[in-house]
Chains A and B, each alone.
Chain A
Amino acid sequence: DAGVIQSPRHEVTEMGQEVTLRCKPISGHNSLFWYRQTMMRGLELLIYFNNNVPIDDSGMPEDRFSAKMPNASFSTLKIQPSEPRDSAVYFCASTTLNTGELFFGEGSRLTVL
């Protein structure tokens, strides 16, 4: 099993630029989550999908953030425009509807200058 695959692993960009993070969940998993991790705030849930449908996006910090899941094997998290305070590690995780254990990807480390 390849696990949850995220890209890019590292992204350095300048303030105001658009950033797109990508995630491929584990095959057969029907729930997908986007988390953000910082030293100050720890792991925060941004949004999650069940069967490709966004269920709760209350953790999305601002309208600058958007997430899509066009099919069961792909999701994107977009930040436009990016700001320095968006610098963090963004994790994608997937699971099945019948279990609570999340399988995390290795994360995308974003630095906004």
Chain B
Amino acid sequence: EDQVTQSPEALRLQEGESSSLNCSYTVSGLRGLFWYRQDPGKGPEFLFTLYSAGEEKEKERLKATLTKKESFLHITAPKPEDSATYLCAVSPAGSARQLTFGSGTQLTVLP
């Protein structure tokens, strides 16, 4: 069974304090690994797709990386507006469009 584990569950940072979120996964062949951001009362918003080990994607202060067993979401010099829950999801090979989501990391960036 596909499994996605995110850590930590919650993270509090001071503005400008860089850190990383972890997503460990077990899947029978990976079609893609996805990162989403979810704000309170909103639906998840797509950030990145990673397809193969060694791949990296960047968007503003966020950079996602992928290995064969885990993915990291690096946050450089975060701002309060980066506060949100970050969700990781995997899509197994041959599964069409099904995604299995992790439970998320709730990030709070203090001014």
Q: Please give the residue numbers on chain A whose beta carbons come within 8 Å of chain B beta carbons, in ascending order.
A: 4, 31, 33, 42-43, 45, 48, 50, 55-56, 91, 93, 95, 97, 100-107
Contacts and interface: CB of A to CB of B under 8 A. Distances in A.
Interface in B62-105: 87, 89, 91, 96-104
A43 B101 contact: yes
Contacts of B96: 48, 50, 55-56
Contacts of B44: 43, 91, 102, 104
Given A100-B91, A104-B45, A106-B41, A33 B97 contact: yes
Majority DSSP secondary structure for residues of A touching B: strand
Contacts of A107: 41-43
A85 B41 CA distance: 20
B99 A45 contact: yes
Contacts, number: 53
A32 B17 CA distance: 39
Contact of A106 (B31, B42, B102, B104): B42
Nearest to A50: B96
Given A101-B34, A102-B46, A106-B41, 15 more contacts: A31-B97, A42-B101, A43-B44, A55-B96, A56-B96, A91-B43, A93-B43, A95-B97, A97-B97, A100-B49, A100-B97, A103-B46, A104-B43, A106-B43, A107-B42
A105 B41 CA distance: 11
24 contacts: A4-B43, A31-B97, A33-B97, A42-B102, A42-B103, A43-B87, A43-B89, A45-B98, A45-B100, A48-B96, A48-B97, A48-B98, A55-B96, A56-B96, A93-B43, A100-B31, A100-B34, A100-B49, A100-B91, A100-B99, A104-B44, A106-B42, A107-B41, A107-B42
Nearest to A107: B43
B3 to A, nearest CB: 12
A96 B104 CA distance: 25
